C-alpha cells in the first residue's frame, strides 16, 4: 500500500510534500510526544499526531516516515510545510481524531496483509 491509497479512507487533504505520495506505507504510529516517536516509530510508518510545527518534520525525516497525518483539521505551520516539501514527506490534514484515524489505518493495513 502506498501513501495515495490512504487518502480517501482517512479523509485526508494534502498540505505539502506531494512528491512523496508513492512511498510505501509499512505501518502506523500515533503519538504527540516527539521523543516517543523518535524512540519507537519505524521507517515507512505513517505518523498520526496533533503536532503541526517544524520539529515534527525533523523527526519524520530522521525516522524516514512515509507521511504525517495531522488530526482534528490541523494544518502544518509554514516551517513544517516547507520542510515537508524539501524532504518529500507528505503532510496531510484530516477532520478525524487520532483514535478514529488510527483505527482506520489499522484496518487498511490488516486488510492488505490478509490478501493472498
DSSP assigned state of 25: P
The edge-to-edge listing of strands for the beta sheet with 45-49 is 13-16, 91-93, 67-70, 45-49, 27-30
| Global pTM value | 0.95
At residue 94, the pLDDT reads 98
At residue 114, the pLDDT reads 79
Is the distance from CB of 59 to CB of 88 less than 8 angstroms? no
Cα dist from 95 to 74, 85, 92, 102, whole Å: 8, 22, 10, 13
Please state the domain count of the chain. Answer: 1
**pLDDT tens-place string over residues 18-38:** 999 999 999 999 999 999 999
- How high is the mean pLDDT in each 10-residue block of the chain (116 residues)? 97 97 97 97 98 96 98 97 97 98 96 76
Cβ-count burial 78-115 (b if 16+ within 10 Å, e if not): eebbebbbebebbbbbbebebeebbebbeebbeeeeee
Half-sphere exposure of 41 (CA within 13 A, CB side): 30
At residue 24, the pLDDT reads 97
Q: Name the residue range of residue 32's domain.
A: 3-114
CATH classification at residue 17: 3.40.1390.20
Q: What share of the chain has pLDDT > 90, as a percent? A: 95
Amino acid at each position: 500500500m502506498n501513501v495515495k491509497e490512504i487518502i480517501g479512507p482517512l479523509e485526508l487533504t494534502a498540505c505539502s510534500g506531494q512528491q512523496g505520495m508513492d512511498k510505501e506505507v509499512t505501518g502506523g504510529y500515533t503519538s504527540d510526544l516527539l521523543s516517543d516517536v523518535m524512540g519507537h516509530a519505524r521507517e515507512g510508518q505513517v505518523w498520526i499526531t496533533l503536532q503541526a510545527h517544524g520539529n515534527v518534520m525533523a523527526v519524520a525525516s530522521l525516522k524516514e516516515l512515509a507521511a504525517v497525518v495531522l488530526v482534528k483539521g490541523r494544518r502544518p505551520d509554514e516551517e513544517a510545510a516547507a520542510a515537508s516539501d524539501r524532504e518529500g514527506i507528505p503532510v496531510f490534514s484530516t477532520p478525524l481524531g487520532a483514535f478514529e484515524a488510527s483505527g482506520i489505518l489499522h484496518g487498511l493495513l490488516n486488510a492488505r496483509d490478509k490478501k493472498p
